[in-house]
Amino acid sequence: MSEPTRKNMRIDLDSLMNRLMTLGQDGALEGGGVCRLALSDTDKLGRDRVIGWMKELGLTVSVDRIGNMIAVLPGKEDLPPVMIGSHIDTVATGGLYDGNLGVLSGLEVINSLKQSGYIPRRPIAVGAFTNEEGSRFAPDMMGSAVDRGTLDLNEALAIKDAEGFVVGEELSRIGYAGEAEPGHITPHCFFELHVEQGPVLEEEGEVIGVVTGVQGISWTEFTITGVSNHAGTTPMRLRHDAGYAAAAIAVAARRIAGEIGGYQVATVGVTELDPNLVNVIARTARITVDLRNTDEALLQKAESLLKAAVDEIAESEGVTISSRTLARFEPVAFAPEMVDLIEATAKDLGLSTRRMPSGAGHDAQMFAPHCPTTMIFVPSQGGISHNIEEYTAPEHLHAGANVLLQAVLAKADEE
């Protein structure tokens, strides 16, 4: 195939949209959106569908012991593959695009090659990694972290969700406890196309986010033990209120984010009180705090400020507070030559670009220390994600997938 012909290859948008909408049926929620929590029955439905598409495309498919699904299209030479990866598990109130776009656009890159008959020098692999979200089983990016050796396989298999279900047992139950050893493929390089999940591209009117790296993530679960008592008869001076302590931690987290400023964010996503009754002072509380920053030193500062606040709350309210780290990943920077490639490829396609860090965690951040890695963002309407209203216009999906296609071909054919 001549260079110009290769340069003119494009993604079949109808096929991509059909795959996105069809996969969106697996775990579809009444009012729209998707719930495909990792290793659930709906995750199985999605996995079965995607593996079926991988096989329809004639790819060699492997499932590893943490359930990562990797499909390979052979190249002219038996070299380490160019890998395209992301995830198909979702949060409980997920959209159609988070993760799914990255996996399905990878299948469409393969589809375009099949349609054109073009065989690149290197093989091309498409990976759907287990439990990227971490909503049910922490940490997030579990499958890609195990693939890259960042998280020990047996440690991951033993992790439990809030109801006591175990990763290894759930993998077996849904039939995705594979045999391949995690990490059996070290890619030549790694690409992930993803919706931005934030407001920047839309606010600035740009189409392609040229992602320079991913910010650091710190998830902590606090378990607070106080004294349950009568809401009406217990004088304020005698209270040891786990519910109040949980609320005070949430206020402290928000204060700390404001004090540090910049990219610092803080989120309390889970608050559970026991016995959770209107007229009972809570005996125990479970609360999670998600801290993130692009700067590791500032993230550590946020963590130490939070610890000081929690210690002070425990002391003043007379409750005991224990903590458990659910996830902790340092910020990563993507390979400059890969970031430059995305920017140049987008400009070649006449698309506007903007360099930016990722606020969300992604499988790509696990590959960044191991091979040249980068991401491509496309706009999220209203900056909405982890929300059933998540939406990206088809022309933006197409733009991002075409940048992916051309950048993948450039790396697949390079000397």
Check binding of 196 to ligand HGY (CB under 6 A): no
Partner whose binding site includes residue 170, from Mn ion, ligand HGY, none (CB under 5 to 8 Å by kind):
none
Length of the chain in terms of residues written: 415
- Distance separating alpha carbons of residues 250 and 365, to the nearest angstrom: 28
Nearer to ligand HGY, 195 or 242 (CB): 195
**Which window, 37-45, 99-107, 112-120, 146-154, contacts Mn ion (CB under 5 A)?**
99-107
Instruction: List the structure tokens of 339.
Output: 């970031």
- Distance separating alpha carbons of residues 283 and 254, to the nearest angstrom: 24
Nearer to ligand HGY, 95 or 361 (CB): 361
Partner whose binding site includes residue 361, from ligand HGY, Mn ion, none (CB under 5 to 8 Å by kind):
ligand HGY
Nearer to ligand HGY, 102 or 361 (CB): 361
Instruction: List the structure tokens of 236.
Output: 């304020």
- Give least dist CB 233 to ligand HGY, A: 43
Nearer to Mn ion, 9 or 265 (CB): 265
For residues 89 and 42, the answer to whether their CB atoms sit within 8 Å is no
Check binding of 147 to ligand HGY (CB under 6 A): no
Nearer to ligand HGY, 133 or 147 (CB): 133
Q: Which of 108, 132, 170, 390 binds ligand HGY (CB under 6 A)?
A: 132
Nearer to ligand HGY, 215 or 345 (CB): 215
Check binding of 85 to Mn ion (CB under 5 A): no
CB atoms < 10 A from the CB of 25, how many? 13
For residues 45 and 51, the answer to whether their CB atoms sit within 8 Å is no
Check binding of 216 to ligand HGY (CB under 6 A): no
Residues 6+ apart with CB under 8 A from 379: 195, 196, 201, 202, 206, 207, 209, 392, 393, 396
For residues 366 and 142, the answer to whether their CB atoms sit within 8 Å is no
- Distance separating alpha carbons of residues 291 and 133, to the nearest angstrom: 16
Check binding of 192 to ligand HGY (CB under 6 A): no
Q: How many of the chain's residues bind Mn ion (CB under 5 A)?
A: 2
DSSP-assigned letters across all residues of 98-123: TTHHHHHHHHHHHHHHHHHT---SS-
> Crossing angle, helix 100-116 and helix 13-23, to 10 degrees?
140
Check binding of 140 to Mn ion (CB under 5 A): no
Q: Which of 26, 140, 363, 390 binds ligand HGY (CB under 6 A)?
A: 140
Nearer to ligand HGY, 360 or 405 (CB): 360
Instruction: List the structure tokens of 387.
Output: 């929300």
Partner whose binding site includes residue 143, from ligand HGY, Mn ion, none (CB under 5 to 8 Å by kind):
none
Check binding of 99 to Mn ion (CB under 5 A): yes
Please give the residues from 337 up to 376 whose contact with ligand HGY meets the rule CB under 6 A: 360-361
Instruction: List the structure tokens of 87.
Output: 């995830």
Check binding of 43 to ligand HGY (CB under 6 A): no
Q: Helix, strand, or coil here: 384? A: coil
- Give least dist CB 292 to ligand HGY, A: 8
Instruction: List the structure tokens of 233.
Output: 């008869």
Q: Which of 134, 187, 243, 400 binds ligand HGY (CB under 6 A)?
A: 134
- Give least dist CB 68 to ligand HGY, A: 16
Check binding of 89 to Mn ion (CB under 5 A): no
Check binding of 133 to ligand HGY (CB under 6 A): yes
Which helix (H) or strand (E) element contains residue 128? strand 124-128
Check binding of 303 to ligand HGY (CB under 6 A): no
In order of 12, 82, 148, 403, the CA distances from 371 in angstroms are 29, 10, 10, 20
Report angle CA 172, 88, 104 to the nearest 5 degrees: 130
Name the site residues for ligand HGY (rule: CB under 6 A): 132-134, 140, 360-361
Name the site residues for Mn ion (rule: CB under 5 A): 98-99
